[in-house]
Amino acid sequence: MRLKLDFNNMMEFRVGREKGISIKAIENMEDTARAIDKKLKEDRAGGRLQFMNLPDHEEVVNEIISLANEKAFTYENFLVIGIGGSTWGSIALHTALSHPYYNLLPKEKRGGRPRFFVIDNCDPDETAGLIDILDPEKTLINVVSKSGATPEPMANFMKYYDIMKNSIGEDYAEHFIITTDEGDGVLRKVAKEEGIRCLDIPKSVSGRFSVFSPVGLFPAAVLRIDIKELLAGARYMDEICNQSDVWQNPAYMFAVLEYLSITEKKYNISVLMPYSRKLRHIINWYIQLWAESLGKRKSRNNETINVGSTPLKAVGAADQHSLLQLFNEGPFDKIITFIKIEHYENEVEIPGLFSGYNELEYFSGHSLEELMKTEQVATQLALTNYNRPNKTIILPELNAFTMGELMYFYEIVTTVTGELFNVNAFDQPGVEEGKIFTYTLMGRKGFESRKKKIIDKLIEEKSFIL
Amino acid sequence: MRLKLDFNNMMEFRVGREKGISIKAIENMEDTARAIDKKLKEDRAGGRLQFMNLPDHEEVVNEIISLANEKAFTYENFLVIGIGGSTWGSIALHTALSHPYYNLLPKEKRGGRPRFFVIDNCDPDETAGLIDILDPEKTLINVVSKSGATPEPMANFMKYYDIMKNSIGEDYAEHFIITTDEGDGVLRKVAKEEGIRCLDIPKSVSGRFSVFSPVGLFPAAVLRIDIKELLAGARYMDEICNQSDVWQNPAYMFAVLEYLSITEKKYNISVLMPYSRKLRHIINWYIQLWAESLGKRKSRNNETINVGSTPLKAVGAADQHSLLQLFNEGPFDKIITFIKIEHYENEVEIPGLFSGYNELEYFSGHSLEELMKTEQVATQLALTNYNRPNKTIILPELNAFTMGELMYFYEIVTTVTGELFNVNAFDQPGVEEGKIFTYTLMGRKGFESRKKKIIDKLIEEKSFIL
């Protein structure tokens, strides 16, 4: 069940000297990789990389499974309210591991579990639409926010708090689970006052690295995903990525290839192209991880560097009919990473029909699984033939164990790439500016005049409107 | 109900001389824009831009509405089988204009219309999942393929043809509508033999420009979208974009700004960021239009140019917590286009609660609509303050008329940008290579040995796997 990385098509001998990475260039990174390995092991031992230890927290897992079992069979609907790192993990796991039309299945085919909904925006049309279809009495709500202060989920929480209290009366607190920082934030205070059960996010784990904490695990457990298997996969990947030699460590190799692609080749776009619709939200989860961790103005030495690599999602085979033309023929500004599945859950035979029609008869004896795998190989061949560097993550199959591997792998890749760029991969200073503008415009106390001048200047009369 | 373009924040006076576009640079494009306008008008008069006339085909619209009314109330499920340009249009219209949880509404709240499903892939897990939940007897299937030879939809068509024939018996043909090229392609031949009703795609309209043909219109009509209003919006935009002066024509200005961003400023990424979840698939539709039309190796003069601009989707406000950090602080390699909604369908008041908590009490008296609009302004202000060029498409509201405007606007923008790059915006030569590899690997007659050598070379034993 081991995830593998095939990077042949990144190399000079496949895509040519000008476009490919040389063996020499990787060899030149060997010492750097070893130094990073040493530093990360020290950081981890010193308690500074808590997210790497999340898969070991057995008592947390048992608490989550017991709470999930207590709640999962009582409700028709399970709603997660959050945004960004608070929701992408559970969305990703559900999409990868549940039935593709889960919410439309009859309850018995869902193993008696509730339907699943997520509100990760403050779009009024979305929230209003959800209110139309959810019966409060039959709904369990998990509010997920590390800080307890992020405007979008807090606004939705307040809306739903009001709805639940008005519809259900005294027992409303039973319908909520709050997942928030283990410290004494506002959401925990509210939870205590209201008698709402809390799950803890360890202090030093930031949102986008929190999928293996209650943030990702509790919703997964409610939805009958085997979270013990998930964590076993993460631990297995942790072992694999314990090697300090870049030639032995797939995560280090992945990071080095991304780094060289950006710095040496100026490929500023990194495409993620899974050949499975079920992985489309794992990619969205990874996009946040990658973009927010690495897109930084300052290095750790406080130099202005404006680094980062832009992640782009493409879903095979569908996006062969959308983005592939650009990938094959457009500017040489991107690398592509495929995710290839060796065995799909289903095969789906294509019936032999319409013989005599050259465009249709050749399907006879083939399956959709074969077609899908062939499309992946064909796209990879075409890209390579166009001298477009590409690599492939190979998954034996899609299950909780391999998803644990894949997500942990991506976390290590992102952390190591952060070290290569010498940026802090765990903060997000560039998001603060917009938040302060929002607070000022919404009239939050203490923010009245902070950005007033800039707002006035930029909202001044505009002439360039057509 | 007019769509507007605000491009103040693209300009030097807002984001600085180094990062912004100068008035002079736009003035230098005035003659080019006029020349393109002249050429496009000649092309259109000469029948070479048929897609621009689709909104005028009244008799087609009447045929579609009548067929939709005949079919829509008889079935529980409506499935579209297609890929790329055959499906993005109907997905986009449905997502923008139907209830956000349409398939979960009871039938009477869907106006008696069927639930909506799309298969736009050959993913075996997806097709198997759909087979689990669709009762063939209650299902209407619209197969959409211009050529009738694209492997993914044809494989699904054959699978479903078999299922329907076996479950329903003689009347199975009633359950299919085929939308295909008006010429004598394989799918039309099959339809004639089987007695399946056909809708026509005009010969010179390519898939990604076909939303205003039966490709987009028939599914929309089945789903109770007012396609007459949609086309009225498209015609209104056609009038607005009739101006030859770039300073008077929002589509020409949009195209010129994109062109200057790429050629003068080397911004190779163009971000689309609508502040409405309902527009997320309009963006996917546009991504295909933009990427496949402009990502080209050769100019019309047969020079090798490898041009194109990479479209990237971000959905506000959610992706402020994912991609915004990179947009604000990462490399200066992108421009951002917001889509701003002036009036959402719903307001959704946030109740005044938890007074005394600074992080929560300021919501009192506000609505989700206000919060959403504030987030958009705040993000725009932050980006501008970080000297990141951005522009905004302003929509008065989301309805069939404004969606017609928006989609027609994007089609003109793409066509004009193609002229600016001097590429053929209507072909996709870079997709052929992969298709031929697929045919060869799947054993289609006539393709046995065409790519054999390349395949052997690239599938040879690999060493670089970890």
Contact B61, B237 (CB under 8 A): no
The span from the CA of B151 to the CA of A371, in Å, is 8
DSSP state of A207: G
The span from the CA of A450 to the CA of B87, in Å, is 47
* pLDDT value, residue B452: 74
The span from the CA of A443 to the CA of B378, in Å, is 13
How far B28 CA lies from chain A's nearest CA (Å)? 17
C-alpha distances (whole Å) from A78 to each of A75, A98, A140, A200, B19 are 7, 14, 5, 19, 46
* pLDDT value, residue A286: 97
How far B201 CA lies from chain A's nearest CA (Å)? 18
CA atoms within 13 A on the CB side of A321: 23
The tokens describing B429, both together, are: 């030569």
Positive or negative, the CA dihedral B4, B6, B10, B13 is positive
- Contact (CB<8Å) A429/B312: no
Q: Is B158 on the interface with A (CB under 8 A)?
A: yes
Q: Counting beta carbons within 10 angstroms of the beta carbon of residue A63, is it exposed (0 to 12), middle (13 to 18) or buried (19 or more)?
A: middle
Nearest CA in chain B to A385: B454
Q: Where are the beta strands (DSSP E) in A82-211?
A: 115-119, 139-144, 176-181, 197-201
The span from the CA of B430 to the CA of B421, in Å, is 17
> Helix A227-240 and helix A58-71: axis angle, to 10°?
160
How far B53 CA lies from chain A's nearest CA (Å)? 24
Which among A24, A266, A321, A457 is annotated as catalytic? A321
Q: How many CB atoms sit inside 10 A of residue B191's CB?
A: 20
Strand, helix or coil for residue B116: strand
Q: Is B434 on the interface with A (CB under 8 A)?
A: yes
Residues 289-328 of chain B with CB under 8 A from chain A are 291-292, 294-297, 306-308, 310, 312-313, 315, 317-318, 320-328
The tokens describing A126, both together, are: 């979305």
The span from the CA of A416 to the CA of A420, in Å, is 6
How far B379 CA lies from chain A's nearest CA (Å)? 5
Alpha carbon B396 to its chain's center: 20
* B212/B441: higher pLDDT: B212
β-pairing, B390-397 vs A4-6, is unpaired
The span from the CA of A179 to the CA of B129, in Å, is 32
Strand, helix or coil for residue A312: strand
The tokens describing A219, both together, are: 């919703």
Domains of chain B with bracketed CATH: 4-29+246-421 (3.40.50.10490), 50-228 (3.40.50.10490)
Q: Is A286 on the interface with B (CB under 8 A)?
A: no
Q: Is B233 on the interface with A (CB under 8 A)?
A: no
Residues 17-76 of chain B with CB under 8 A from chain A are none
Residues of chain B found within 8 Å of residue A248, distances taken between Cβ atoms: 466
DSSP state of A28: T
The tokens describing B49, both together, are: 């831009």
- Contact (CB<8Å) A4/B466: yes
Query: Is there a cis peptide before residue B317, judged by omega within 30 degrees of 0?
Result: yes
Name the H helices within B264-367.
280-294, 324-329, 358-361
CA nearest neighbour of A211 among A458, A409, A416, A423: A409
Q: Counting beta carbons within 10 angstroms of the beta carbon of residue A31, is it exposed (0 to 12), middle (13 to 18) or buried (19 or more)?
A: exposed
Query: For the residues of A346-393, what is the DSSP string, one character each?
Result: ---BPP---TT-HHHHTTTT-BHHHHHHHHHHHHHHHHHHTT--EEEE
β-pairing, A4-6 vs A390-397, is antiparallel
Average pLDDT over residues B15-31: 97
Average pLDDT over residues B66-78: 97
β-pairing, B4-6 vs B390-397, is antiparallel
- Block residue for tokens 């992969």: B434
Q: How many CB atoms sit inside 10 A of residue B41's CB?
A: 13
Residues of chain B found within 8 Å of residue A291, distances taken between Cβ atoms: 322-323, 325-326, 330
> Predicted confidence band at B446 (pLDDT cuts at 50, 70, 90)?
confident
* pLDDT value, residue B461: 61
What is the biggest distance separating any 2 CA atoms in chain B, rounded to whole angstroms?
A: 76
The span from the CA of B133 to the CA of B139, in Å, is 11
CA atoms within 13 A on the CB side of B205: 26
pLDDT over 90 at B457, yes or no: no
Contact A12, A25 (CB under 8 A): no
The span from the CA of A376 to the CA of A393, in Å, is 12
Instruction: Measure the CA angle with vertex B240, ends B235 and B243; round to 5°.
Output: 125
The span from the CA of A181 to the CA of A76, in Å, is 28
Lowest mean pLDDT among A445-449, B17-21, B73-77: A445-449
The span from the CA of B339 to the CA of A152, in Å, is 19
* pLDDT value, residue A446: 87
- As beta bridge partners, residue B144 has B179
The span from the CA of B206 to the CA of B189, in Å, is 20
User: pLDDT digit string (tens) for A79-111?
Assistant: 999 999 999 999 999 999 999 999 999 999 999
Give me the count of residues in chain B. 466
Nearest CA in chain B to A275: B123
* pLDDT value, residue A385: 93
Residues of chain B found within 8 Å of residue A253, distances taken between Cβ atoms: 466
* pLDDT value, residue B99: 98
The span from the CA of A215 to the CA of A212, in Å, is 7
Q: What is the mean pLDDT of chain B?
A: 96
- Phi first, then psi: what are they for A357, rounded to 5°? -95, 105
How far B464 CA lies from chain A's nearest CA (Å)? 5
CA nearest neighbour of B220 among B378, B385, B434, B68: B68
Helix (H) or strand (E) segment spanning residue B91: helix B88-97
* pLDDT value, residue B454: 73
CA nearest neighbour of B216 among B121, B107, B96, B115: B96
Residues of chain B found within 8 Å of residue A367, distances taken between Cβ atoms: 124
- Block residue for tokens 């879903």: A315
The span from the CA of A131 to the CA of A115, in Å, is 15
Q: Which residues of chain A have pLDDT under 50?
A: none
Separation of first and last alpha carbons in chain B: 57
Q: Is B269 on the interface with A (CB under 8 A)?
A: yes
Residues of chain A found within 8 Å of residue B358, distances taken between Cβ atoms: 444-446
The type of residue at B390 is N
C-alpha distances (whole Å) from A402 to each of A2, A111, A121, A231 are 7, 22, 29, 10
In sequence order, which residues have a C-beta less than 8 Å from that of residue A298 and are 6 or more positions away?
A304, A305, A423, A429
Helix (H) or strand (E) segment spanning residue A459: helix A452-459
**Cβ-nearest to A430 among B133, B325, B458:** B325
User: pLDDT digit string (tens) for A27-40?
Assistant: 999 999 999 999 99
C-alpha distances (whole Å) from B222 to each of A90, B65, B177, B386 are 34, 8, 12, 46
C-alpha distances (whole Å) from B244 to each of A400, A464, B255 are 58, 17, 13
